[in-house]
Amino acid sequence: MLIPVEDATDPRLADYVRLRDVDLRKSLESAHGLFIAEGEKVIRRAVGAGHPVRSVLTTARWLDHLAGVVEETAPVYVVSDEVMAGVTGFPVHRGALASMERTALPEVAELLGGVSRIVVLEDLVDHGNVGAVFRCAAALGVGAIVLSPRCADPLYRRSVKVSMGAVFAIPYARMADWYGGLAEIRAAGFQTLALTPDQSATPLDRVVMGERVALLLGSEGDGLSSHWLKDADVPVCIPMSPAAMDLGVDSLNVVAAAAIACHGLLRS
């Protein structure tokens, strides 16, 4: 269903309006149960994960790349580069956008049933960081991710883009109860490891890991809350070199820490 559109204000393009306006997008996407996939590869992964396509927005030169990606019934709006930028608020270099329908998330208990290594994110609010952690987790064999209630949306456009579609490859769920959330995870038989920059904590490579392990990662600025640190089974750290400590570098950013820690989960 190729549909030429020449006006950036055409109401049929409403799903794609002002993609860099975070507040607007949160409201619009929540109200309509949609998210935006950017680029042909990400669109393919979203379709492969079972997300129905509402519509596609693209330019003529990208049509061949999209062949076979979407159902024949989904409208494909074909616009000029100028109209594309006018709708979205920036030049779209990956050529195509798709408005996708969200599917229902599983409950945390359901998610934990068949996995042995998970990552639990507490209050990561940067969409790019959430996407990058998903990519690390998927690359390093983590079975699932659990989000605290205030974590950023993995299906926000930037999260999806940074993850390179990994948000469609690794299952995730969102806690309903931050305060008691870890109790549910421990009740499912998981040993909870709280990653902290505190060098007095147990080095991650010295932890005796159980059959089921949950790695807890905290927010970008403050790290894990005192409640989760206290509630976890073992506080763990990534040892920093003495030279780094002398320079005042006592921690890694959350994405680098996630990559190292997820790799550490591979040993058992």
pLDDT of 250 > 90? The answer is: no
Give the domain-ending residue among 47, 82, 101.
Answer: 101
pLDDT of 244 > 80? The answer is: no
Band (69; pLDDT cuts 50, 70, 90): confident
Q: Please indicate, yes or no, whether residues 11 and 73 belong to a single structural domain of this protein.
A: yes
User: What's the number of domains the chain is made of?
Assistant: 2
Q: Please indicate, yes or no, whether residues 83 and 112 belong to a single structural domain of this protein.
A: no
Q: Please indicate, yes or no, whether residues 16 and 69 belong to a single structural domain of this protein.
A: yes
**Pure H helices in the chain:** 22-32, 40-48, 81-88, 108-111, 127-139, 157-163, 181-187, 226-231, 242-246, 254-264
Identity of residue 51:
H
Q: Please indicate, yes or no, whether residues 82 and 136 belong to a single structural domain of this protein.
A: no
CA distance 139 to 165: 12
| Segments forming the whole domain that contains residue 70 | 2-101
Q: Please indicate, yes or no, whether residues 77 and 114 belong to a single structural domain of this protein.
A: no
Higher pLDDT, 177 or 67: 177
Q: Which residues contact 230 (CB under 8 A, 6 or more apart)?
A: none
pLDDT of 245 > 80? The answer is: no
pLDDT of 127 > 80? The answer is: yes
Q: Please indicate, yes or no, whether residues 78 and 173 belong to a single structural domain of this protein.
A: no
CA distance 146 to 124: 12
Q: Please indicate, yes or no, whether residues 130 and 90 belong to a single structural domain of this protein.
A: no
Q: Please indicate, yes or no, whether residues 9 and 66 belong to a single structural domain of this protein.
A: yes
Higher pLDDT, 201 or 220: 201
Give the model's pLDDT for residue 246: 62
Residue 172: helix, strand or coil by DSSP? Answer: strand
CA distance 71 to 69: 7
The arithmetic mean of pLDDT across residues 149-162, rounded, is 94
Give the model's pLDDT for residue 221: 82
Q: Which residues contact 20 (CB under 8 A, 6 or more apart)?
A: 88, 89, 90
Give the model's pLDDT for residue 149: 95
pLDDT of 78 > 70? The answer is: yes
Give the model's pLDDT for residue 235: 96
Strands 117-121, 213-217: pairing is parallel
Give the model's pLDDT for residue 156: 95
Helical packing angle, 127-139 and 254-264, nearest 10°: 20
Give the domain-ending residue among 53, 82, 101.
Answer: 101
Let me know: does 53 contact 70? Beta carbons within 8 Å.
yes
In the chain, the percentage of residues whose pLDDT exceeds 90 is 81
pLDDT of 24 > 80? The answer is: yes
Q: Please indicate, yes or no, whether residues 195 and 256 belong to a single structural domain of this protein.
A: yes
Let me know: does 68 contact 86? Beta carbons within 8 Å.
no
The arithmetic mean of pLDDT across residues 56-75, rounded, is 87
Give the domain-ending residue among 82, 101, 120.
Answer: 101
Beta bridge partners of 78: 4, 58
The domain that holds 205 is classified in CATH as 3.40.1280.10
Q: Please indicate, yes or no, whether residues 120 and 252 belong to a single structural domain of this protein.
A: yes
pTM: 0.91
Joined together, the tokens standing for residue 246 give 């002398």
Q: Please indicate, yes or no, whether residues 134 and 255 belong to a single structural domain of this protein.
A: yes
Distance of CA 60 to the CA centre of its chain: 30
The domain that holds 52 is classified in CATH as 3.30.1330.30
Give the model's pLDDT for residue 258: 95
Give the model's pLDDT for residue 248: 67
The arithmetic mean of pLDDT across residues 125-129, rounded, is 95
Higher pLDDT, 267 or 238: 238
Q: Please indicate, yes or no, whether residues 112 and 147 belong to a single structural domain of this protein.
A: yes
In this predicted model, what pLDDT tens digit does every residue of 187-199 receive, in sequence order? 999 999 999 999 9
